[in-house]
Structure 1
Amino acid sequence: MIKLGIVYDQFLYPWFGGGGAVHAFEVVKRLAKDFSVIYFPSTQVFNVPSDTLIKKAKELETYGIKISDEFYEMNEKNMKANPKSILEKYKLDVDFLYEPDHRSPDIFYLGKRLGKFGLTIHVPLFYKDSLNYLRRLVKFYKVTPSGKGFYTRFLYNELVAKPRYRKLLRKFPPTFIASVSQGSLEESGVQGEVIIPGNAFDPSLLKYRNKGKEDYIVFWSRLNQDKGLPEIPDILRILKGLGVNTRLILAGKFFNKYYETLFWKKVKKYNLNVEYLGFVEREKLDAIVSRSKALIYPSHVDGFSLVMLEALALGTPVVAYSIPAIRSVYKDLKAVKLVEEFNKVEMAKKLADILRLSEKEIEEEMNDNTLLNFLELHSSWDNVERSVKEIILKHLEK
C-alpha cells in the first residue's frame, strides 16, 4: 500500500480550528482507508502541553492514522528546540507528503528532503495584487485602539508572506498545489488544481429543509471584521430605510472587544432588532438557520465558506459579497445573491427582495435543480476525499 505522509498541526490542538481543520480531518481519516497514512505533526504543536498532545494523538490513532514514532520521542523529551532541529528528526519513510490545510512552511522543508509533496490551500498563500489588497484592508480592517490595523496586515503580506512564499516556491517547488476554490489560487497568483467538491456538509442537515420560514435573518461565523461584522448594522439600517423591518439572530463568538462594542453601539443607535445567542448547540442552530429567510454574509476573507454551504443545505438563501473564493464556488446558484464587495446598499436591496418573497417562492428557489445537484455533490466528504486522492495519485505516477 502507498505510504502517505501528512504534515499538519491542527489535529493535535485542543481547540476548534475552523473550516480548514474540519476539511483536513474529514479528508485524512478517509485517506487512511486508501493509503498507509503516517502523520508528522508540524513544529508548532510542541507549544501545546505534552499531556494534551498525547491525549489528542491517541484519539487520532483510533481513525487508523499512525503517528510518527519520532513525535512521541520528541514529546517525551519536551522538545522546544528550533523548528529545523525538530524537522530533521522525522524519518520520512513514505512515498509522498501532503498537507491538507496549508498553515506552515514545514511542508516545504520536509518535502525538499523527500522530493515529492503537495499541499492544499484554503485561503491565499499571499495577496499578489498589493494595491487592491491595501484598498480593501483600509475599508474593512481600519485601525483599532490596540494599535493593530490595516497596515499590520498589509506589511505582513508585503514583508513576510509574499517574499517567503515566492522564495519557497522557487527553491522547493511542490509537486502540486491544490485549493478548495479557484478564488484562492487567483488571489495568490499561483497555478494549481481545484478540488471539486472542495468541502462537504453533513447530509443530516437536509432533513430541516422545506419546514417553513419565519420573519428573521441570520448570521453565524467568527464575529470579527474579516466576516464583515461591523457592516451588518449599517446594512440593517439601510434595510429599514427600504421599509423592511426584520430581526437578526446572531450566533458565534466575538473575537475583538473593540468591534463587539462598536457593533452594539450601532445596534442601539439605529434601534435595530438583534438577538444574540452566543455559541449554540448544533441541532438548535440548524433549526434556527433553516427557518430563517436569509443568511446575511458580508465576508471579506474566505476560502470556500462552509457557513454558506450549510445554510443552503438547510434551505436558506444567502446574500454575500462577491469576493473571488465565494464567487468561484457559488456564482451559478440562484439562491446565492452576490453583490460587489462593500456595497451595503445593494446587499440591503437583495435582502429586501428575499424578505418580500412568500414562503412558497423561497422554497421554489431553494429546490432549483442546479442547487439540488450542487448539494448532492457536496453532501459527502467521500466525494471530497475522492477528488484529493485522484490528485495525489495522478502526481505520484508522474
Structure 2
Amino acid sequence: MKILFVCTVPKDIFSGGRYHTHLMASTLSHLGHEVTFHTNNAPVYNNEFLEHIPGYASIHFELSGDFRTPPEEHFDLVILAPDQSQNLYYDFAFNICDTQKIPLVLINFESPNWFNSLSPYPRDENLWDKWTKSLLRPSVILSSAKESQKWAKEYYPNVEKQNLYSYWYPPINSPAADSVFDKNITKENSILAISRFNDKHKGALDLLSVLDESLRGYTLKFLTSRPILRDETTIPLFEKAENFGINLKFIENPTEVEKFHEIQKSKLMLFPSYFEGFGYPPLEALYMDTPVVCYDLPVLRETTEGCDGIYFADRGNFDDLKIKIQKALQSQPKNMRAAIFKNTNFEERSKSLNTLVSEWTSSVSSWCK
C-alpha cells in the first residue's frame, strides 16, 4: 500500500506529536508499505531513528515544505498529523484526498473537550478548527487510546459512512531502550522530573510543593530541549532545592540512548502533568523498570493497566503527591517492563497497526467512490 504522511516539523525543537508520527510512519514502512513523508524539516532525532528504528530509513522524505504543489503520484491513504496552526498543509492533504478519492486518517492527539475537562489552563476550541474540517470527507479519526476515542466521539462530527473511529497505542523507541537496558543496574539516588516550564498544564511549578526535607541528598534531574535559566519562573525552584540540600541537574538535548539510560538510573520518574493525550514518559520509565509518580489521568490508567509500578496522586493535591513519592521510593515493584511490554514494544505495536490499516481501507475506501 502507498501511504502519504503530511505534517510540519519544528526546526531544532522536539515535538511529542511529531515523534508519535515518525514512529507510526516507521512501523508502516517496517511492515512493507511504501511510505512517503511530506514535511518541511527533518526531526531533531533523525539520526537516532536512522540508527535504531526499523523501517525509518526506507521512508521517502519530501523536505521541500512545498504545501502548494500536489504530488503526481497516486496514494492509497493520507495520514495527517495536525498541530494548532492554520497552516497550508491541511489544505494540501485535503486536496489530495478529494482529488484522488482516497481516505484521510487524522491523528487525533487530543480533542478540546477532553483537554479543557482536565487542564486548569483551558484553550480556545478554535485552535482545533482545521482538525474538525479534516472530517468533512471520508476519514478515520485515529486516537491514541480508548479514553481519547471516547472524547473524540463526543466532539467530532460522526457522519454515517464517512467517519470511522479507531485507536492505536504508538510504540516507544524500544530498540534504543533495549540497547541500554540492564536488569541488574544499581539505581542512583536521583529522581527524574519530566515537565516543561513554558506549558503550565505540564505541572512544572507543582514541583515546588514537593521539595522538602524528605528529599534531602537526592538529585532532581530534568531532561530539557533548551537551557533552564534562573528567572522569575525558576528562581523559587533553585532556592527551595538549595534550602533542602537537593541537587538540580539539567540534561540538555539528550540522545534517545542517553534518555533511556538516565531513566533507568533513576529511582523514580515524577510526571506532574494535568493533561496528556497519550503520555510517553511514564511508559518509557516503566519499560526501563523505573517506577512513576503522576497525577491520576484516565489515559495513563488505561495504558499502564496491570502494572504495579505507577502511583497515581489526586490532581493538584500536593500532599497526596508527596505521599505517593515516598511510597514509590520505599517500594520495590516487580515486572514493570513485562506488564507494559505489549503496549509499548515497537514490534508488538507494528503488528496491531497492520490489522487496523486493513480495516480502514476495507471500510473507508469504499465511501470515497
Partner residue of 1:27?
24
Check whether the contact 2:195–2:204 (CA below 8 A) recurs between aligned residues. no
The aligned counterpart of 1:159 is 126
* Match of residue 325, structure 2, among 351, 371, 385: 351
**1:9 maps to what in 2?**
8
1:110 and 2:96 aligned: yes
Contact 1:219 1:248 (8 Å CA) reproduced:
no
Cα distance between partner residues in 1 of 2:187 and 2:60: 47
Could you tell me which of 361, 365, 387 is aligned with 2:352?
387
Q: Cα distance, 1:351 vs. partner?
A: 0.7
From 90, 95, 118, give the equivalent of 2:71.
90
Which one of 211, 226, 239 corresponds to residue 201 of structure 2?
226
Structure 2 unaligned regions, length at least 5: 84-88, 157-163, 364-369
> Which of residues 344, 359, 362 in structure 2 aligns to 1:378?
344
* 2:110 aligned partner, one-letter code: P
Partner of 1:40: 38
Alignment of 1:238-257 (within 5 A): 240=213, 243=214, 245=216, 247-253=218-224
Question: Structure 1 residue 229: deviation in Å?
Answer: 0.8
Aligned mate of 2:144, from 180, 184, 194: 180
More helix by share: 1
Are the aligned partners of 1:210 and 1:315 in contact in 2 as well (CA < 8 Å)? no
For residue 219 of structure 1, report the CA deviation from its aligned partner: 1.2
Which residue of structure 2 lines up, in the alignment, with residue 65 of structure 1?
A: 59
Q: TM-score, normalised by structure 2?
A: 0.75
Q: CA deviation at 1:319?
A: 0.5
**Structure 1 residue 212 and structure 2 residue 180: aligned?**
no
Alpha carbons 1:213, 1:293 under 8 Å: kept: yes
How far off its partner does 1:64 sit? 2.7
Distance 1:356 1:397 in 2: 51
Partner of 2:120: 136
Instruction: Flag the 1:214–1:117 CA change in 2: closer, same or farther, 3 A.
Output: same
Runs (5+) with no aligned partner, structure 1: 138-152
Match of 2:272 among 281, 298, 303: 298
TM-score (norm. length: structure 1): 0.71
Task: Compute the displacement of 1:223 (Å).
Answer: 4.5
**Range that drifts further, 311-320 or 196-205:** 196-205
Residue in 2 that maps onto 1:143: none
- Is structure 2 residue 243 aligned with structure 1 residue 278? no
Deviation at 1:197, TM superposition (A): 5.4
What is the RMSD of the two structures over their aligned residues, measured on CA atoms? 3.5
Give the letter aligned to residue 78 of structure 2: L
Counterpart of 1:278 in structure 2: which amino acid? I
Q: Output the CA distance in 1 between the equivalents of 2:190 and 2:71.
A: 53
| SS at 2:233 equivalent | helix
2:72 counterpart letter in structure 1: K
Q: Is 1:319 matched up with 2:293? A: yes
Identity over aligned residues, as a percent?
Answer: 16
Q: How many residues align?
A: 334
Q: Contact 1:295 / 1:311 at 8 angstroms: preserved in 2?
A: yes
